[in-house]
Structure 1
Amino acid sequence: MVIREARAGDMTEILKVMEAAKKIMRQSGNMHQWGDGYPSETVIMNDMEKNGAFVIEDDDEVVGYFAFLPSPEPTYNKIYEGNWFEESLPYHVVHRIASYPDVHGVFSSIMDFCFMHDTNIRIDTHRDNKIMQHNIQKHGFVYCGIIHLLSGDERLAYQKIVSGF
């Protein structure tokens, strides 16, 4: 698999990946995350404008998407029922991970990529997203508490810090 920065010309393929990910969520009992047209083309374009939009390709076909954005993440300023590790350190956040259901190893590839670029990564997910929680914990992230999105929706927040590059 190859990870590269997403381009505007990838939008159709990215939106197809997002729809496939939503279908996986619904089939696994996650009925509420990513509703109402989220993530929209506007959200993805915003990721691109910040140079934080990435696609995963397999045999030159887009099979996944994620955003990898530098701190600060405004919704991470306040955490409930827990604490971040080393709050003063800069970090990157991973958002909007999506892939086709028949493609395996996407999360691992994303994490390898992200930790090549930063040693302090934060990520959050919906309480009903058991698949994502499993992947996050499997890759050594530690549960830190609850954050709230700008909409007020709660998310489970995780962090992993590795020493050195």
Structure 2
Amino acid sequence: MEFRIAREKDLERMCEITAQAKDGLKNLGLDQWQKGYPSREIWENDIKNQCTYVAEEDGIILGIFAFQTTPDISYYEIEGEWISAGPYAAMHRVCVAEEAKGKGVAGKMFAHGFRMAETLGFSSVRIDTHPGNIPMQRALGKAGFERCGEIHLAGGPEKGALRIGFEKIL
């Protein structure tokens, strides 16, 4: 599997995978990603800022994730405790194409995010997900993330929504 920064030509496929992920969350009875996030505009901005990566195999995009190297305002307050007080990278908007689910794509994306974070000198990686998103929580545990507590999203269409914060020490 290869990883590269998302490009303009990837946008349609990225939106297709996002729509699949939104449908999957809806089918789980979750309100996560049901209020317009992530949107085409978010992905366009990510492409412009070169902060989103695609996981590609044989020329087909199988997964997407955003990689953030600045502090996330949603992580400033937590009901619980982050493992590390040091600098961290964050992964957001992680989604896998429906046809690639169960094939280890998410785990490979996490591992790539960990390598990037280490290369940039970060001591940990943080991520969050909906309390009811059990498949993602399983994937996070498998990748070595530890549950740290509850956060509330600080902005966007899901502002105020409860999420579970996870961290992995590198």
* TM-score normalised over the length of structure 1: 0.90
Asked if 2 retains the 8 angstrom alpha-carbon contact of 1:30 and 1:129, the reply is no
Give the secondary-structure state (helix, strand or coil) at the position aligned to 2:148. Answer: strand
1:85-106 per-position Cα deviation (integer Å, ceiling 9, x unaligned): 221x111101001111221211
1:50-81 per-position Cα deviation (integer Å, ceiling 9, x unaligned): 3211111121011211101113111111111x
Asked if 2 retains the 8 angstrom alpha-carbon contact of 1:50 and 1:69, the reply is no
Equivalent in the alignment of 1:147: 151
Asked if 1 retains the 8 angstrom alpha-carbon contact of 2:26 and 2:34, the reply is no
Equivalent in the alignment of 2:140: 136
Equivalent in the alignment of 2:94: 97
| d(CA) in 1 for partners of 2:53, 2:10 | 10
Asked if 2 retains the 8 angstrom alpha-carbon contact of 1:13 and 1:62, the reply is yes
Equivalent in the alignment of 2:121: none
| d(CA) in 1 for partners of 2:126, 2:29 | 21
Paired AA for residue 101 in structure 1 = E
Give the secondary-structure state (helix, strand or coil) at the position aligned to 1:21. Answer: helix
Asked if 2 retains the 8 angstrom alpha-carbon contact of 1:142 and 1:160, the reply is yes
Give the secondary-structure state (helix, strand or coil) at the position aligned to 2:34. Answer: coil
Equivalent in the alignment of 2:18: 18
CA RMSD in angstroms comes to 1.3
Pairwise CA distance, 1:25: 1.9
Asked if 1 retains the 8 angstrom alpha-carbon contact of 2:30 and 2:133, the reply is no
1:100-140 per-position Cα deviation (integer Å, ceiling 9, x unaligned): 12212111111121111224100100011111011011111
Between the two proteins, the alignment pairs up a number of residues equal to 159
Asked if 1 retains the 8 angstrom alpha-carbon contact of 2:64 and 2:94, the reply is yes
Percent of aligned pairs sharing the same letter: 34
| d(CA) in 2 for partners of 1:136, 1:58 | 22
| d(CA) in 2 for partners of 1:48, 1:73 | 19
5+ residue gaps, structure 1? none
Equivalent in the alignment of 2:169: 161
| d(CA) in 2 for partners of 1:139, 1:117 | 15
Residues 47-56 or 33-42, more deviating: 47-56
**Alignment map for 1:1-150 (pairs within 5 Å):** 1-27=1-27, 29-80=28-79, 82-87=80-85, 89-103=86-100, 104-119=103-118, 120-149=124-153, 150=155
* TM-score normalised over the length of structure 2: 0.88
Runs of 4+ that moved beyond 3 A:
none
Residues 17-26 or 131-140, more deviating: 17-26
